[in-house]
Amino acid sequence: MGRKDDTDSIRRKAGLATPMALRVAVTLELPDRLLGDGASVDELAVELTVAPVALELLLGHLATLGVVERTATGYRTTEYGANLCADANNGLTDLLHLDAAGGRAEMAFIELAHSIATGQAAYPRRYGQDFWADLAEYPHLRESFDRQMVHRFREQIPQIVAGFDWSRFSAIVDVGGGQGSVLAAILTAHPRMHGHLVELKPTATQARCTFSAHNLDERTHVTASSFFDPLPAGAEAYLLVDILHDWDDEHAHRILSRCVEAAHPAGRVLVIEPVGGLRAASEFNLAMLVMYGGRERQIAEFRALASPHGLVLDTVTDLTDQRCLLEFKLAADQ
C-alpha cells in the first residue's frame, strides 16, 4: 500500500496538467472574468475566441483545484481562485502569466534536460536569445520583470536595511540596482549617505523616479549603462543584490572585476543573495540554471570566484530567511 501512495505522490508532483492549467487560466484572465456571478462556458468562449469544449475541460480541472466552482449556468471564481486575479497584489500573475517575464521564463523548464547536459541556460534554447535580450526587445516583459523584482522584496527590505551596519559607508554604488527600492531604503535610513545606481534602460529611468519619490535627488546618481562596462569609481561599497546568481562564472568574474577596478582601495564588495546551502531553495536554484545559466553559489564557491580579484570574504550576515550578505574586502586592505 505504501508503494501505491508513493507512486501517486510522485505522479502528482510530476504531472504538468495542473501547473499548465493554472498558467493558462491566468493568461486568459479566467479568475477575473469569472468573478461575481461568473459566466457560461459558451459566453466565455465567444469572448475569448477559444474552443468551447476545450475551455470546459480547463474549467473542469480548475474546479477540481478549487479555483472556480460550478453554478447553474456555468462557472464562477471562488475566494481561493480570487488569489489569481490581476489586482490580488500578491505577485502571482507575473509569475504565472505566459506572456510575463517570470511566467515565460519558467516555461524554459521544458528544456531542463539541455541545461543538465550542458550546464547552460535553457532559456535561449527555447526562445532564441537570452533572458536579458528578450527584456530589451519586449518592453512588456521588462515591465513585468521589474514589477516582480519590486514585489519580491516588499517584505524583506526593512530586514535588509536593519540587518547590516550600512552607516560605515558614505557612498554606495548599487550595481544592477533595478528600480532602486533597496538603495532608496538604505539611503532613507542613513541621511548622510550618497548612492549611485547602475542599471540598464529603461529600468534606470524608473530608478530616478523612485529616488525622486523618496526626496533623494540630491544624494543619488543614476547611470544607465551595463555593469560589464566601467563602474562609477571611488566608492566605499559596491552592492550586488541578486546579481551574481544570474550569471555563469565567466560573466560573474567580469562583474566582480568591474567592481574591484572601480572601488576605493579600502572599498568593499557586498553581495546579497540566497547563498547555496544556507538560504537557497533547491527549486529556485534550478530556476537560476534554467533561466540564466546561473546558480546559488555556496560560500566556498564565492571565495573561489572572488579570490582571483584580490577579494577576501570578511563576514557573512544572515539578513532574511532567504538571503545572506557576504562582505568582501580587497586583499591589499588587510
Ligand X SMILES: C[S@@+](CC[C@H](N)C(=O)[O-])C[C@H]1O[C@@H](n2cnc3c(N)ncnc32)[C@H](O)[C@@H]1O
- Using CA atoms, how far residue 113 sits from 116, 127, 259, 290, 295, in Å, is 5, 16, 34, 10, 16
324, 272 in Cβ contact below 8 A? yes
The reply on whether position 199 binds ligand X by CB under 6 A is yes
If the CB atoms of residues 94 and 242 are measured against ligand X, the closer one turns out to be: 242
Separation CA 164–CA 317 (nearest Å): 7
The reply on whether position 94 binds ligand X by CB under 6 A is no
The reply on whether position 30 binds ligand X by CB under 6 A is no
If the CB atoms of residues 59 and 149 are measured against ligand X, the closer one turns out to be: 149
Interaction mask 223-262, ligand X, x per CB under 6 A: ---xxx------------xxx--x----------------
The reply on whether position 139 binds ligand X by CB under 6 A is no
Q: Among the options 114, 245, 251, 309, which is catalytic?
A: 245
Residue 245 appears among annotated catalytic residues: yes
Burial class (CB in 10 A: 0-12, 13-18, 19+), 45: middle
197, 223 in Cβ contact below 8 A? yes
* Choice from 45, 98, 200, 286 touching ligand X (CB under 6 A): 200
If the CB atoms of residues 76 and 104 are measured against ligand X, the closer one turns out to be: 104
* Choice from 122, 149, 160, 207 touching ligand X (CB under 6 A): 149
If the CB atoms of residues 67 and 288 are measured against ligand X, the closer one turns out to be: 288
If the CB atoms of residues 122 and 319 are measured against ligand X, the closer one turns out to be: 319
Question: What residue type is 21 in one-letter code?
Answer: A
Question: What residue type is 277 in one-letter code?
Answer: G
The CA-based dihedral angle spanning residues 196, 200, 203, 204, taken in that order and rounded to the nearest 10 degrees: 30
The nearest distance, CB 200 to ligand X, in angstroms, is 5
- Tell me the window of 16-24, 110-118, 209-217, 220-228 that interacts with ligand X (CB under 6 A): 220-228
The reply on whether position 177 binds ligand X by CB under 6 A is yes
The nearest distance, CB 275 to ligand X, in angstroms, is 15
| DSSP string covering 256-311 | HHHHHHHS-TT-EEEEEE--TTTT--HHHHHHHHHHHS-----HHHHHHHHGGGTE
81, 70 in Cβ contact below 8 A? no
The nearest distance, CB 317 to ligand X, in angstroms, is 16
DSSP label at residue 251: H
If the CB atoms of residues 114 and 251 are measured against ligand X, the closer one turns out to be: 251
The reply on whether position 182 binds ligand X by CB under 6 A is yes
The nearest distance, CB 252 to ligand X, in angstroms, is 12
Separation CA 122–CA 112 (nearest Å): 6
- Specify the pairing of strand 268-273 against strand 311-318: unpaired
The reply on whether position 161 binds ligand X by CB under 6 A is no
C-alpha cell at 69: 466552482
**What does the binding site for ligand X look like in residue numbers (CB under 6 A)?**
132, 149, 153, 176-178, 182, 198-200, 203, 226-228, 241-243, 246
Catalytic residue annotation: 245
